[in-house]
A = this chain, B = another copy of it.
């Protein structure tokens, strides 16, 4: 289960604003199915819907934003545990990532593969991009090794302005 990782327009950087995002969503859902099948867990309808909502854009989305959109057919809003349980499942199986500095979530850009999560966040358009580069991780590991620190988890979130937004006046 390595091949779904680099499909679509996802390339470890910020997509063009006009990219075919329906494709991003479709790819994410398909990969999720594959990952869950491989791990012998169930991608239930509820979980699939939450994943789809997370992927509705490249902006980190909060649990309660998801909640507001998660009506149960007859328009009744779900309760918090419903969405948090789905999010926990998706986190555990590497289908989404938590953005700590925002209390929000983004879809994982390379599900089914082991990787350190490194995220860039545009403060202008609000979008996030998962970085796919070994250098930061290598630097972190070098520093940790020197002071005898055994790494368990890395939270790397870089806020700033993406290339597309720099090419325009702010907040345009």
Contacts and interface: CB of A to CB of B under 8 A. Distances in A.
Interface in A101-140: 101, 118, 120, 122-123, 129, 131, 133, 135-136, 138-140
Contact of A139 (B100, B135, B149): B135
Given A136-B139, A149-B120, A150-B166, A155 B159 contact: yes
Contacts of A123: 152
Interface residues of A, number: 38
A140 B142 CA distance: 14
A78 interface: no
A155 B120 contact: no
A52 interface: no
A105 to B, nearest CB: 14
A133 B147 CA distance: 11
A38 interface: no
Interface of A: 12-14, 100-101, 118, 120, 122-123, 129, 131, 133, 135-136, 138-140, 142-144, 147-163, 166
